[in-house]
Amino acid sequence: MAIFSYSKPICSVLFVFTLLSFCNGQTNSSSQVDNHPQLSSSHSGEAMLRKKLGSDKYSSVSHGLQDRFGNIWFGTSDEGVYKYDGKLFTQFTMEDGLSSNSISSLLEDRSGTIWFGTSNGICRTDGNKIIKVQIPFYIRPVINNNFYYTKYSTKSTVWSMMQDKTGKIWFGTGDAVYTYDGELFARFLANDKVINKDSLKLKLVSDILEDKNGIIWFASGMPPGNEGFCRYDGKMIERFKHKNEGWIRNVIESKNGNLLLATRRFGIWSYDGNSFSDYALPKELINGSLSAIMEDKAGELWVSSDYGKDMGDTLGGLWHSTTSALNPSEKTFTKVFNKEVFFILEDKENNIWFGTRTWGLYRYDRKVVTQFSE
């Protein structure tokens, strides 16, 4: 693996990028479960993240999740999933049970099961294997307009997953939001008891969050989503389209209780339960486009962008701010990395992991950035 040291916290690496992806994995802690030591793979472990399926140079490392045992899972756009045990990366692909090698979301549930959202539905670990989990065809909506769907953004793509306090798992897919209670799937908006005053469709939801009060929030993604920020209070779902922004990529609940949103065009927003306010932005951010936002264990903010002035330039990147959400200040943002970044993950040792376009996986130990991809 390559190590990059800096006299300044900026890495000047230039690549060419094309593929758009999202996302953020979620981790839940719970009782002891199997550490998946026997999860079988058709590929041997490697010291670096290597391509083995012959995907092109535009393949991306787009998602990250650390499970309760310290293993870190990385989702990619064309090479399936990798599990990193601290020494080796083990690759899992369609040969090992995945329904697609394009990964769109990751989740660990309360039982320790790892769920994979792919461009062709849901998969999960089951003992020593990966199995497919099918959403019943008969509960899916009829869609006549296929204009927005592509190879990487299908009707069955699972863009987001979240397990709520009751144990129910929510799935944001290309055609609707579904729930799973451990036995049965249901299409969320097919429930007549849900008051849907805005006639929302909830196609392509980028992120799903349950806040500390039990309210479910949906961050609507790119078209055919584009419905803004939506709230479900257990009875009614309604949307907010602040500044007419329909595309929200990521939402987190800050330690101060506010929700922080990563938007496609307006940078960071803070929502206090009553109104939206603009959060300070890094100076280099182009067109306000953010891909991910994370608050670390110390309450410090990390934001990333996968968008530069031109595709593949070095105007995207990763920024770190030591300012809390209570007192934002643009001057505190420090650029850590120059490259279009998709996800941000803090591990149990407080290292920051992030993945980029054109097959980049990196770890930042708050001093040095180390590359873990070929």
Q: Taken in order 22, 358, 285, 222, is the CA torsion positive or negative?
A: negative
Q: Which two tokens stand for residue 319?
A: 């920024």
Of 33 and 242, the structure prediction assigns the larger pLDDT to: 242
Reported as a pLDDT band with limits 50, 70 and 90, residue 324 is low
Query: Residue 326: pLDDT band by 50, 70, 90 thresholds?
Result: low
The answer to whether residue 307 scores a pLDDT higher than 90 is no
Res. 30: pLDDT tops 90: no
Q: In this predicted model, which residue has the larger pLDDT, 99 or 338? A: 99
Mean pLDDT of 170-182: 97
Task: Give the separation between CA 19 and CA 179, rounded to whole angstroms.
Answer: 29
Instruction: Give the residue from 193, 188, 128 showing the smallest Cα distance to 160.
Output: 188
- The 8-class DSSP code of residue 242 comes to G
- The pLDDT, as a whole number, for residue 151 is 82
In a domain, 261, yes or no: no
Domain count, the chain: 1
Classify the C-alpha dihedral 187-210-102-113 as positive or negative.
Answer: negative
329, part of any domain: no
Domain membership flag for residue 106: yes
Q: State pTM to two decimals.
A: 0.88
Residue-wise pLDDT for 71-96, tens only, equals 999 999 999 999 999 999 999 999 99
Looking at the domain assignment, is residue 84 inside a domain? Answer: yes
Residue 290 has what DSSP assignment? -
Kindly indicate the confidence band of residue 261, based on its pLDDT and cuts at 50, 70 and 90: very high
| Average pLDDT score, the chain | 88
**pLDDT surpassing 80 at residue 294:** yes
**Which amino acid appears at position 122 of this protein?**
I
Does residue 4 have a pLDDT over 80? no
**Domain-located, residue 34:** yes
Cα 229–chain centre separation? 16
Q: Is the backbone peptide bond immediately before 9 cis, with ω within 30 degrees of 0?
A: no
Domain CATH for 72: 2.130.10.10
Q: What is the pLDDT of residues 159-174, one digit of tens each?
A: 999 999 999 999 999 9
Does any domain span residue 149? no
Q: Which domain holds residue 86?
A: 23-134
Positive or negative torsion for Cα 17, 65, 337, 369: negative
233 belongs to a structural domain: no
49-77 per-position pLDDT tens digit: 999 998 988 899 999 999 999 999 999 99
Residue 33 located in a structural domain: yes
pLDDT at 9 over 60: no
Q: pLDDT band for position 327 (50/70/90)?
A: low
Q: Give me the residue label for tokens 């009751």.
A: 166
**pLDDT given for residue 271 in this prediction:** 97
